[in-house]
């Protein structure tokens, strides 16, 4: 059974940093691209960032480019999102998401969302 367990959310002040982690199990982690997708409370889905199996291809949404970084540790079946210079508009549930393949950009498994609240 595929499981994606996310940790690291919480309340943070504007301008500060936060790091999310996602621990994957139930599949061969380094066979698949991984992504982060977020959803502001009561709003729609927004893709944030994606990384291919060997970290050789990384993309970001324009809204987070230059502030967020994505990384993965295949030895530990883990995905990370480092969020710097956080803004109030970054407040959202953040989902760790598995790609159907190697950057097919189809999201076949979603972890539970972790809430990041950016507020003073």
Partner 1 sequence: SYELTQPPSVSVSPGQTASITCSGSKLGDRFACWYQQKPGQSPVLVIYEDFKRPSGIPERFSGSNSGNTATLTISGTQAVDEADYYCQAWDGNVVFGGGTKLTVL
Residues making contact with partner 1 (CB under 8 A): 35, 44-47, 50, 59, 61-62, 95, 100, 105-113
Please say which residue, 50 or 80, places its beta carbon nearer to partner 1: 50
HSE-up (13 A, CA, CB side) for residue 81: 31
Minimum distance between the CB of residue 108 and partner 1, rounded to whole angstroms? 5
Please say which residue, 1 or 120, places its beta carbon nearer to partner 1: 1
Minimum distance between the CB of residue 101 and partner 1, rounded to whole angstroms? 10
Please classify residue 111 by burial: count the beta carbons closer than 10 Å to its beta carbon, then call 0-12 exposed, 13-18 middle and 19+ buried. buried
Please say which residue, 19 or 65, places its beta carbon nearer to partner 1: 65
CA 99 to CA 84: how far, in whole Å?
25
Residue bearing tokens 């970084």: 69
Measured on CA atoms in the order 73, 76, 74, 39, is the torsion positive or negative? Answer: negative
Minimum distance between the CB of residue 100 and partner 1, rounded to whole angstroms? 7
């Amino acid at each position: 059974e595929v499981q994606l367990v996310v940790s690291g959310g919480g309340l943070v002040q504007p301008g500060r940093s936060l790091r999310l982690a996602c621990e994957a199990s139930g599949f061969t982690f380094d066979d698949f691209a991984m992504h982060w997708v977020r959803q502001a409370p009561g709003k729609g889905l927004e893709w944030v960032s994606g990384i291919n199996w060997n970290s050789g291809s990384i993309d970001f949404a324009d809204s987070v480019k230059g502030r967020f970084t994505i990384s993965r540790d295949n030895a530990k079946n883990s995905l990370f999102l480092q969020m710097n210079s956080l803004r109030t508009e970054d407040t959202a549930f953040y989902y760790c998401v598995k790609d159907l393949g190697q950057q097919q950009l189809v999201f076949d498994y979603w972890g539970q969302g972790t809430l990041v609240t950016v507020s003073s």
